[in-house]
């Protein structure tokens, strides 16, 4: 019996028909709303050629789109690296057999997960600006990176913890049977396997980091959204400018999501094809280290 059958009964012919009708009605409603929005924008002249002409000029991309995109990718890339480091440290801390370490890591992770990332951005921006610890022009970037790191790092820490707990108990028992300590088994056997298992979810979190970097415009960080808004105000085409920014975000996020899907399929295929001897070799290599 599958897990799906345990949770709920499979729908019968009548239920499947009702579900199909509900899906069709939902799609029609969404298409109707979309058509109404497009019609309203067209009446306001938002799809006129003059509104989109600036995006065919090289200066628009040179002075607005590309600088904004570069700043967005810069903040997101740094935050991704620091979030992974933070998540690994506190994720392993939550798995520690030392109770105080486990409690402190748990409190930090749960607290940071509960605080909105925008609130953290504003807090660090004001704190850095008033303290004079950094240059005023660097405060927005550092505030964005700190907020994204703490929030998303706490989520990654929880992914690490749940990933390790999701492994079969035999993994740790096998490691301890060949002479590894609990920490060595966690570091050399369990966490690497958990990282492989949670890689699609990890890349999905990277998408969240990229999207949340757009919140930096509220604290004057010159990322893509702020640059496109400046362009829209100057050219009188705010809505087309926001459409272009949204399209760029969608393309990048779609690329990351596609990468996550392909990695998931690739890793699943390799895991299924892995022989038991290879796993024993991994365990022996871990014991030697």
Reported as a pLDDT band with limits 50, 70 and 90, residue 141 is very high
Contacting residues for 124 by C-beta, under 8 A, at least 6 apart: 142, 143, 146, 147
Q: Are 182 and 176 in contact (CB under 8 A)?
A: yes
User: How many whole angstroms separate alpha carbon 56 and alpha carbon 271?
Assistant: 48
pLDDT at 288: 43
Both tokens of residue 80?
Answer: 């991704």
Both tokens of residue 91?
Answer: 């994720």
Predicted confidence (pLDDT) at residue 3 exceeds the cutoff of 90:
no
Q: Are 147 and 121 in contact (CB under 8 A)?
A: yes
pLDDT at 9: 66
Predicted confidence (pLDDT) at residue 5 exceeds the cutoff of 50:
no
Please report, for residues 34, 69, 168, the alpha-carbon distance to residue 244 in angstroms, rounded to integers and kept in the order given.
Answer: 17, 12, 47
Q: What residue ranges define each of the domains in the chain, with the CATH number in brackets? A: 60-288 (1.10.3720.10)
Residue 245, H or E segment? helix 238-273
Q: Are 157 and 91 in contact (CB under 8 A)?
A: yes
Contacting residues for 33 by C-beta, under 8 A, at least 6 apart: none
pLDDT at 1: 44
- Residues 136-141 have a mean pLDDT of 91
Reported as a pLDDT band with limits 50, 70 and 90, residue 50 is confident
pLDDT at 171: 65
Q: For residues 66 and 178, which has the higher predicted lDDT (pLDDT)?
A: 66
Which of 59-73, 107-121, 131-145, 155-169 bottoms out in mean pLDDT, i.e. has the lowest? Answer: 155-169
pLDDT at 136: 86
* Rounded percentage of the chain residues whose pLDDT exceeds 90: 42
Question: What pLDDT digit, counting tens, does each position of 33-48 carry?
Answer: 999 988 888 888 888 8
């Amino acid at each position: 019996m599958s897990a799906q059958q345990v949770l709920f009964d499979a729908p019968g012919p009548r239920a499947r028909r009702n579900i199909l009708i509900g899906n069709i009605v939902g799609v029609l409603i969404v298409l109707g709303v979309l058509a109404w929005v497009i019609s309203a924008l067209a009446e306001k002249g938002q799809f006129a050629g003059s509104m989109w002409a600036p995006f065919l000029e090289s200066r628009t991309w040179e002075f607005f789109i590309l600088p904004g995109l570069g700043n967005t990718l810069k903040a997101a890339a740094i935050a991704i690296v620091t979030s992974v480091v933070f998540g690994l440290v506190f994720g392993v801390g939550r798995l520690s057999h030392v109770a105080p370490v486990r409690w402190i890591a748990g409190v930090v992770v749960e607290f940071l997960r509960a605080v909105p990332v925008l609130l953290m951005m504003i807090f660090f921006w004001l704190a850095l600006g008033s303290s004079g610890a950094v240059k005023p022009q660097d405060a927005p970037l550092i505030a964005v990176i700190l907020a994204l790191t703490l929030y998303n790092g706490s989520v990654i820490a929880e992914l690490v913890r749940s990933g390790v707990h999701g492994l079969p108990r035999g993994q740790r028992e096998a490691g301890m049977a060949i002479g590894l300590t609990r920490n060595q088994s966690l570091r050399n056997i369990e966490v690497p396997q958990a990282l492989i298992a949670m890689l699609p979810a990890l890349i999905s979190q990277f998408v969240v980091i990229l999207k949340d970097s757009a919140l930096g415009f509220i604290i004057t960080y010159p990322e893509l959204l702020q640059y496109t808004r400046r362009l829209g105000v100057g050219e009188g085409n705010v809505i087309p400018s926001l459409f272009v920014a949204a399209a760029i975000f969608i393309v990048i996020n779609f690329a990351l999501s596609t990468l996550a899907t392909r990695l998931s399929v690739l890793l699943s295929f390799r895991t299924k094809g892995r022989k038991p001897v290879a796993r024993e070799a991994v365990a022996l290599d871990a014991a030697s280290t």
